[in-house]
Chain A
């Protein structure tokens, strides 16, 4: 995609280990009863979509060197509530309100991080509590339960796949093009690769950071919209474990937590991989606990692999 391709230094070991893992997975999946069915493939994609949309946005933020956001679930919840409580104005208006809310809240955090060099972890913990607290306060702890149900259309399926899957694919393509074909995307890679150097070179570090976070905010809002539609109501706990699930998908995709490396397609792969493994474990009758445990191991393995590759490149 890029004009000046980076020669990838994948060694024999770097290739063998993931391939072996994949072979084990294919073996397990193939011998799992009911895994190879259209319905199951559909189920996997549908379960990927919600977390996947947010994870794609989180990829841009991580590539731009801002690490992670720990306020994701809360932001998804508040956008879901806004979406449900504006149903009477029509679907387009409701989605727009949700997206603008997500962008505003998240881009604001990006501005504080990009222009005033705040620590993303600390800032987003604070923002998460603030947003979560405000949401609980204003909702009074009661679920938002709209009478007008414009959102039903979002729960429908088109050509056998849920709408959310198409949105996930659309967001992925958009993120991919942004990262690889736009000035802002290139600058995200540069800022993430070496923030000090980017600053000394006069690159607009602040602006780039805000753009990445704004994109992220829009993605979180879309996830919020689908969560709200799926549940038909929203409580303060709607966001659930979205924060860490999204981070897990980005990391399993191989995006470096230190920034500068990764891509939207990789994150899509990471999200699908997590969903496939969870599905295999589910079909084989393992408990939710085992699924979560395996997810943890997967994240660890991916982070170690990315780190090894990065340090080898530097030698």
Chain B
């Protein structure tokens, strides 16, 4: 039995989790739900020794434990299965299961190790997988199962599953669930963290909901519905009234996406978008929302489908051609796929518009300075920082520089943004929203993907909800929308 009692943790004085308590019995599968920023991952990190609580205690079995490191957590019998696979494809199944095992003997005894892994796999109902098989011969779902087997083989008493099904197909999810149930039947406690509420209700015995760092309730799943769960998660849900947005009959179609598919990620996506409007794609991790943007930007080498921008076909799978046709894309990974971090703010702002201040391929420094200054002003960046490396700016200002790169260009017709305000404070967020609104007013199509309900409702003229690689619903400007509606689409799927 696992008891969590009054767990509290603050970052720089801002509480992320305050006084969270719940109990997971032996053999129980316990759901942990909450919207972005509710404190789920902070709780998970405290349970796995990645963060130390400011106060509160964790009791495993009968004794309170201090989990100061991941090793300490592992020794206390806590195992984590992350949403990202942490297995090594080049090793065998058995080697993966014993990887990083603190109980493993110094000298590997092959026969004993094989027998141990065989037993664990059998316990999970995975008779078909051989411990000597290279891991790379397994499907992604099976690899996820090996992650769970790894936790079990290391004698875990508490297994925490953090979004294990986000990238799995339904069939794969089903086999993962079957394995989880068998693991629980052995007396192991399980905490299941997921955005997929229908799955939570199907799999778990009870669910604890967090909101703003506090526990709202722990309820047996028998007494719950998806809607009830959403209400617990959101409290007073954000909403948007129909009157807030003009209908857009009179606008010309600008961006036509039809039959867009990315194997394994996006099943089928079609959307006609008008110039001057902001389109919001609402979807959780693995929903395909960000894949739509990446595919249109030419960054999915396996994408198929047709994209037209102002009646000109845009070739998919070619980022240079997409940019030439007027598509500007902003990745959700600003640091590694967005900015040129060690270069100046000025260089970053002008990176994609060199022809604007070049004559026959020769740069005109004076013109560049004029353009860079104008862009800094337009994106709300202080001019005296143009020469600083962009890495020295705050998250909000970095994002402004990133967005600013695409503004004020008459050769850009569509602005695609993946999580436009990730890692940005409230002030910066409002400023970026304003920039995007102005871009739309200037006649661009703006299409963004987000998981933040507030952002979707504030910014989206048209909101398209997605799950499992396809569209669930479309909410135009002339209907009321609220957070519960969106969450239901994003978490439960097509009814």
Q: Using a CB–CB distance below 8 Å, which chain A residues touch chain B? A: 1-7, 180-184, 186-187, 189-190, 193-194, 196-206, 260-261, 310, 313-314
Contact = CB atoms under 8 A, between A and B. Distances in A.
B324 to A, nearest CB: 7
Nearest to A310: B342
B342 A200 contact: no
Contact of B342 (A2, A3, A183, A261): A261
Nearest to A9: B389
Nearest to B366: A3
Given A183-B361, A187-B354, A313-B389, A204 B336 contact: no
Given A194-B341, A313-B391, A314-B342, A183 B336 contact: no
Given A7-B387, A183-B363, A313-B389, A202 B323 contact: yes
B463 interface: no
B299 A260 contact: no
B131 interface: no
16 contacts: A1-B365, A3-B366, A4-B350, A4-B368, A6-B343, A6-B344, A6-B387, A6-B389, A7-B387, A181-B362, A194-B341, A197-B336, A200-B329, A204-B320, A206-B320, A314-B342
B331 interface: yes
A205 B388 CA distance: 25
Nearest to A202: B323
Contact of B346 (A3, A190, A199, A206): A3
Contacts of B387: 4-7
Given A4-B372, A196-B336, A190 B365 contact: no
B383 to A, nearest CB: 11
B39 interface: no
B368 A260 contact: no
Nearest to B359: A183
B413 interface: no
Which 4 interchain pairs have the tightest Cβ spacing?
A202-B323, A4-B346, A3-B365, A3-B368
B297 interface: yes
A276 B124 CA distance: 70
Contacts, number: 117
B137 interface: no
B35 interface: no
A190 B366 contact: no
Contacts of B346: 3-4
Nearest to A205: B320
Interface in B300-358: 319-320, 322-324, 327-329, 331, 336-347, 350-352, 354-355, 358
Contacts of A194: 336, 339-341
Contacts of B367: 3
A49 to B, nearest CB: 28
Chain A interface SS verdict (over half): helix
B369 interface: yes
B385 to A, nearest CB: 10
Given A201-B323, A314-B391, A4 B363 contact: no
Contacts of A5: 344, 387
A101 B97 CA distance: 54
B338 A202 contact: no
A184 B405 CA distance: 18
Contacts of B366: 3
Nearest to A7: B387
Given A3-B368, A200-B337, A261-B342, A183 B354 contact: yes
A67 to B, nearest CB: 17
B339 A181 contact: no
Contacts of B327: 202
A208 to B, nearest CB: 11
B336 A4 contact: no
A69 to B, nearest CB: 24
A310 B328 CA distance: 29
A5 B327 CA distance: 29
Given A183-B355, A186-B363, A199-B299, A193 B388 contact: no
A186 B355 CA distance: 11
Residue among A7, A186, A197, A204 with the most chain B CB within 10 A? A197
A182 B358 CA distance: 8
Contacts of B319: 199-200, 202
A314 B392 CA distance: 8
A197 B338 contact: yes
